Amino acid sequence: MRGARLPLLLAGGLAALLLSASVTVTIGPASITPAGVWTSLGARLGIGESPLTPIQDGIVWGLRMPRTLIAAVCGAGLALCGAVMQSLLRNPLADPFVLGVSSGASTGAVAVIVLGWGAGVVSLSAGAFLGALLSFGMVMLLSHSLGGSMDRVVLSGVAAMQLFSALTSFTVLLSADAETTQGVLFWLLGSFSNVGWADVLLCAAVLLVVLCVCLAHTTTLDAFAFGEEAAASLGVRVGRARLLLLTATALLTAALVSSVGAVGFVGLILPHATRILTGAMHARLLPVTALIGAVFLVWVDTLARTALDPQEIPVGVVTSLVGVPAFIAVLYRSRRQT
């Protein structure tokens, strides 16, 4: 029954995403209509003329549209990673940051911002990405030396998370002034304010590749739900599949965090909420989760930039405020169903 609803869920999710992007890109001080945005898009494709003034056109295509699209990509990517990692690690509390990727990215970003390492050569995003890869490499080496089981991966991730968080705090405390500290804190809590089209294209490309990899391994993820031994008895090459999927999700998380900072709770709550609609089969769960994550974060970012206008709230703060009660509601619903 749920499988028969998949085309309807996908169509509804795509329609909701297009509608959300069309509406949210018009929200702000400048008066712009959704019809004006679509007509302007047609003009850029050589169809008709844009009704927007040059200033409005710059606001839409230089500021709001890349921000809306990066929010959609980030929401889809984090939700996808959360769904994969919760199944792969058999841990309902797993999220995209459980491998210490976020903490490593934060340390790399702080090294560029505060210490000036690689200044002029290494950008903030590049520093964050390198830090994320370093943290993930540490987790993989440590977990492999301890036996490579799923619980060892999680424990290694916790160790890396604490280590890099301590390094980040120590660096900021030792070297940063008040203004720099405020900027670092804002980035660490997640912000889409400084993204451009290059960030959108990079993150979207990584998301597309990782989504294809994960969709090609949906039966493998279904098998992992019964445990590693059961998966191996079903013909799954456990070690290879685990390394491939962990690496894919870590790379996607690293790309997203390096562009927008750490945005929590998206990968934790949305997979649970989506399972209510789709069930646990990953062929249905993964694409629907990605769409719901995209729609969710588009609206969260709109709230973050407009609720206290002209002051902006870090996106991670809003996702936490929305995510905690939503997660509690999901837990209560799951309890009633068991």
Domain layout of the chain by residue ranges: 6-337
Supply the pLDDT for residue 69: 95
> Is residue 4 pLDDT above 60, yes or no?
no
**Which conformational region is residue 162 in: left (phi greater than 0), alpha (psi within -120 to 50 degrees), or beta?**
alpha
What is the spatial distance between Cα 274 and Cα 288, in angstroms, rounded to a whole number?
7
Residues 6+ apart with CB under 8 A from 1: none
What is the spatial distance between Cα 277 and Cα 288, in angstroms, rounded to a whole number?
9
Tell me the average pLDDT across 226-236. Answer: 81
Q: pLDDT tens across 78-115, in order?
A: 999 999 998 888 888 788 888 888 888 888 888 887 77
Residues 6+ apart with CB under 8 A from 305: 28, 67, 192, 193, 312, 313
CATH superfamily, region 6-337: ABC transporter involved in vitamin B12 uptake, BtuC (1.10.3470.10)
The encoded tokens of residue 45 equal: 């494709």
- pLDDT band with cut points at 50, 70 and 90 for residue 214: very high
What's the number of CA atoms in the CB half-sphere (13 Å) around residue 45?
Answer: 7
The encoded tokens of residue 306 equal: 């407009």
Asked whether the bond before 310 is cis by omega within 30 degrees of 0, the reply is: yes
Tell me the average pLDDT across 272-289. Answer: 91
Under 8 Å between Cβ of 32 and 52: yes
- pLDDT band with cut points at 50, 70 and 90 for residue 118: low
Supply the pLDDT for residue 201: 94
Supply the pLDDT for residue 108: 86
Q: pLDDT tens across 307-334, in order?
A: 887 788 889 889 988 878 877 776 676 6
Residues 6+ apart with CB under 8 A from 316: 188, 189, 190, 261, 262, 263, 264
User: Which one-letter DSSP state was computed for residue 49?
Assistant: -
Q: How many angstroms separate the first and last alpha carbons of the chain? A: 20
What is the spatial distance between Cα 303 and Cα 297, in angstroms, rounded to a whole number?
10
Tell me the average pLDDT across 133-147. Answer: 86
What is the spatial distance between Cα 108 and Cα 263, in angstroms, rounded to a whole number?
17
Q: Which residue has 């690496």 as its token pair?
A: 247
The b/e string for 219-232 (b: 16+ C-beta within 10 A; e otherwise) is ebbbbbeeebeebe
More confident call, 204 vs 129: 204
DSSP-H helix ranges across 45-149: 54-58, 65-88, 101-113, 124-145
